[in-house]
Amino acid sequence: MKKIVIASNNAGKIAEFKALFEPLGIETLSLKEAGIISDPEETGLTFIENALIKARNAAKISGLPALADDSGLVVPHLNGEPGIYSARYSEEATDSANNAKLLQKMSNFQDQERAAYFKAVLVLVRDETDPVPLIAEGEAHGFITKEILGSGGFGYDPLFYFPDKSQTFGELSSEEKNQISHRAIALQKLSTKLNTL
């Protein structure tokens, strides 16, 4: 593998992936850089299924190996919500509306009921029909605050309190977050697997 497509249009994610693959001598292309439009319907019921859908679709269109991620916030006391629907949790499907809905649903939750974790799943396929895709998962555990704290990051970051840093992901610098996040953990695991290929 000398070149792979990153099945994402998220600039932050693409930058993280480029930094991971550069030392391995693998060139990475975003969907835009590869000149392809890939936005398949995420019909899976798990993060892994949705990441696989995105990776296989990008590999099919580009003819190159493809990497996709699917990630989201899981609140056990809400039966796993918002989960795979994290980005489209509210009707408006915006960060502010999603955060407002989550705060409203958790308004009566106390202490351990507010426990939550971010989950990231990375899937790398060598081609569209790859029977043994590389899969790496990462989690970051914390609690949902009762109000927005910080303006950094995206999604639920300003509500996700990370005990090890005594701050929300929204209060951390992007450098700090990228060292300890669920995606960083998954990337590290994927890097280890790539080194064994």
C-alpha–C-alpha distance, residues 58 and 124, integer Å: 11
Residue type for 190, please? L
CATH architecture assigned to 3-195: Alpha-Beta Complex (3.90)
C-alpha–C-alpha distance, residues 165 and 49, integer Å: 32
Q: Which of 1-5, 79-83, 163-167 has the lowest mean pLDDT?
A: 1-5
C-alpha–C-alpha distance, residues 83 and 96, integer Å: 17
Give residue 122's pLDDT: 96
pLDDT > 90? residue 178 = no
C-alpha–C-alpha distance, residues 68 and 42, integer Å: 12
> Which residue out of 69, 70, 95, 130 is catalytically annotated?
70
Give residue 59's pLDDT: 96
Residues that constitute the known binding site for Mg(2+): 41, 70
C-alpha–C-alpha distance, residues 20 and 97, integer Å: 32
pLDDT digits (tens, 9 = 90+) for 81-107: 999 999 999 999 999 999 999 999 999
More confident: 181 or 10: 181
Residues that constitute the known binding site: 8-13, 41, 70-71, 154-157, 177, 182-183
Give residue 70's pLDDT: 94
C-alpha–C-alpha distance, residues 145 and 125, integer Å: 37
Per the annotation, the verdict on 95 as an active-site residue is: no
Exposed e or buried b per residue across 140-175, where buried means at least 16 C-beta atoms within 10 angstroms of its C-beta: bebbbbeeebbebbebbbbbbbbeeeebbbbbbeee
* Sign of the alpha-carbon dihedral angle for 125, 13, 54, 90: positive
3-state secondary structure (DSSP) of residue 32:
coil
C-alpha–C-alpha distance, residues 187 and 26, integer Å: 15
**What is the overall mean pLDDT for the chain?**
92
Q: Where are the domains of the chain?
A: 3-195
Give this prediction's pTM.
0.90
Q: 142 φ, ψ to 5°?
A: -165, -145
